[in-house]
Chain A
Amino acid sequence: MKIISCIKPVPDPASRLVINEQKTWIKDQDLTFVASEADNYAIEEALRLKEKHGGEVVVISMGGEEAARVLRSGLAMGADRAIHLLDPKFKGADEFAAAATLAEAIRKDGGADLVLAGVQSDDLGTGMTGTMMAEFLGCSHASVVVGVEANPEGKSLKARRELEGGINEVVELQLPAVLTIQFGINQPRYASLKGIMAAKKKELKVWSAADLGLSDDAVGKAGAMYDVNEIAAPERKSKVDIISGTPEEAAATLVEKLRKEAKVL
């Protein structure tokens, strides 16, 4: 099976995020970028499917140096090769433009039996891009996947989807297919030192919008379907009673309030 796993670079979760002057995004110049957490589960699932069924795992990412960085970590985990979508024109893409660009790159690479992506990213976090790719590629998909059982000979796959309220559903898909992988499906491996060394020798293709045959208005900000009006910290609506003091004092005050004021003890 040929499996392509998509990785989105996002600011390290430990970063302090500051909104830019135009209030359209965060100041991202000086941040450290890592793979979006759900994408690590997707890469791990891709590697496990390859270990079971053979084939190759290709990692793909869009962006500048931060994308090259997450691709190197994917290669170090064990992916066979990487595709870096690098072009200033890709900047400012929304989910729609990103899905269109990724789908075109997958097509240019000769397609895949299976395309994996994390269920949602740590930045925009809406869980759209993977499923949108399936429509651009004209193939089947399943979202919020917590279990995969592939049958490459039968060109099919069983995916377990996580629904609300602790219910799962098992669906059968025709390959090729796109899956969006839920957190917790596996325990992603760490790259070994050997893996990191081996990654340096692996193939890393770099493609621009022109390489993909995509026009300027189809990619990046120009290809997006919405504009950002404003980014802001959420307004505080509730009248939460913040209890101050040393930890001991605050704990004592809290217990007092729970007993006398809220009367829940």
Chain B
Amino acid sequence: MILVIAEHKDNKLKPITSELLAFAQHVQRDFGKPITAVVLGSGIGAVVDDLKAKKIDRVLAADHELLSEYNPDSYVEVLKAIIEKEKPFLVLIGHTTQGMDFAPRLAVALRKPLIAGCVEYEKQGDRLVLTRQIFNAKMNMKTIPRGDLPFLATASPGAFPADEVESGGNAAVENAAVSIGTTPRRKLLERVEAQKGQADLSSAPIIVSGGRGLKQKENFNLVFELAEAIGGSVGASRPVVDAEWLPREYQIGSSGQTVSPKLYFAIGISGAIQHLVGMQTSRCIVAINKDAEAPIFKIAHYGIVDDLFKVVPALTRIFKDLRQA
């Protein structure tokens, strides 16, 4: 069996859950194993119903008041018991801030392999080979887990399209026996929404985004000038914000804003998956980067492989001229 650990929030499945189910359905076609979705929480009827409607074999609901908020200690305890009882072939977890908060502990508790951040898989004979990205997505590493089943894998958000998940099932629902014996060593105090500043980019039609390739803060003027000439908004990748060239509110990517403009310029952005998940649905993506191997070119529609310090001012001049014409 393939065990999928569902992630949910406010009584709704998170998009990563559909991605994991799409991943599981591919593996099912290749290996002929049934799919069980496991959901942990308290009062999770609506989430169970959503899972039931997907084309899977079974939903296992671990419904317990102590699971009303996510906690790594309780998650590890409950999931370890379920995995030891169910003896799955593969356990799929989201490579998210929640999944990666408990999956490494769970793997150690079970003494089983965890292949984290998977973006692809393939069948080699009867073996499942999982691919993950290394060196900031410059290379792919194919891995073969050792030892007896099961093994655990986390899937990178955006790697397995959520819209490929097949619905139309009528999975059997079972309640898992939950016993939580340990007191969690970690307590959730509060969850806070980060403030949306003036840089709300969710409805911007054109975004000009800059990355580490700009080398220093002062050079970011090139991005602002192009944005002004074209009538677009400015965005940034994570390293730019970490280096304090721009405030956090400009950040696009998994821990910043998700955008989908009609035109997106990625300037000096290599294209780490954390950035790609925040902008890959843009209608037209233009990448300007001197490194032809940069992963951004895998999702870009147009690319210029050259020195951004020459290309960007040239573009700005053309747009200025067009405006005046």
Contact = CB atoms under 8 A, between A and B. Distances in A.
A166 B257 contact: yes
A96 B113 contact: yes
A250 B145 contact: no
B275 to A, nearest CB: 13
Given A166-B257, A251-B315, 16 more contacts: A17-B135, A122-B136, A141-B105, A142-B101, A144-B101, A170-B190, A177-B185, A187-B244, A226-B113, A228-B142, A232-B139, A234-B137, A240-B303, A241-B301, A241-B302, A265-B230
B104 A135 contact: yes
Interface residues of A, number: 75
B186 A172 contact: yes
B268 interface: no
A162 B300 contact: no
Interface of A: 17, 19, 26, 95-96, 99, 122-132, 134-136, 139-144, 158, 161-174, 177, 183-184, 187, 224-234, 236-238, 240-243, 247-248, 250-252, 254-255, 257-258, 262, 264-265
B108 A96 contact: yes
Interface residues of B, number: 90
Nearest to A243: B304
21 contacts: A17-B139, A95-B114, A96-B113, A125-B133, A126-B116, A127-B104, A144-B101, A162-B97, A170-B188, A171-B188, A184-B241, A224-B146, A225-B113, A225-B114, A227-B146, A238-B301, A240-B303, A242-B305, A258-B284, A262-B302, A264-B284
B279 to A, nearest CB: 14
A212 B117 CA distance: 31
Contacts of A141: 72, 105, 186
B13 interface: no
B318 interface: yes
B107 interface: yes
B298 A132 contact: no
A248 B311 CA distance: 7
Given A233-B138, A251-B314, A170 B304 contact: no
Interface string B266-284: 0000000000000000011
A236 B298 contact: yes
A143 B189 contact: no
Which of the listed residues A174, A228, A234, A258 has the most CB atoms from chain B within 10 Å of its own CB? A234
A125 B295 CA distance: 15
B18 interface: no
Contacts of A171: 186-189
Contacts of A257: 302
Interface string B255-267: 1111000110000
Contacts of B96: 164
Contacts of A136: 108
Nearest to B193: A167
A234 B284 contact: no
5 closest cross-chain pairs (CB), A and B:
A184-B242, A140-B185, A225-B113, A166-B194, A247-B310
B144 interface: yes
A11 to B, nearest CB: 8
Contact of B192 (A17, A19, A95, A169): A169
A236 to B, nearest CB: 6
A234 B298 contact: yes
Contact of B262 (A170, A184, A264): A264
Contacts of B189: 158, 169-172
Contacts of B187: 171-172
A144 B286 contact: no
A111 to B, nearest CB: 15
Contact of A19 (B139, B244, B257, B286): B139
B116 A128 contact: yes
Interface in B88-103: 96-98, 100-101, 103
A238 B192 CA distance: 38
B173 interface: no
A131 B139 contact: no
A39 B302 CA distance: 36
Contacts of A234: 133, 137-140, 295, 298
Among A126, A127, A262: residue with most chain B CB under 10 A = A126
A196 B300 CA distance: 45
A225 B248 CA distance: 37
A163 B292 CA distance: 32
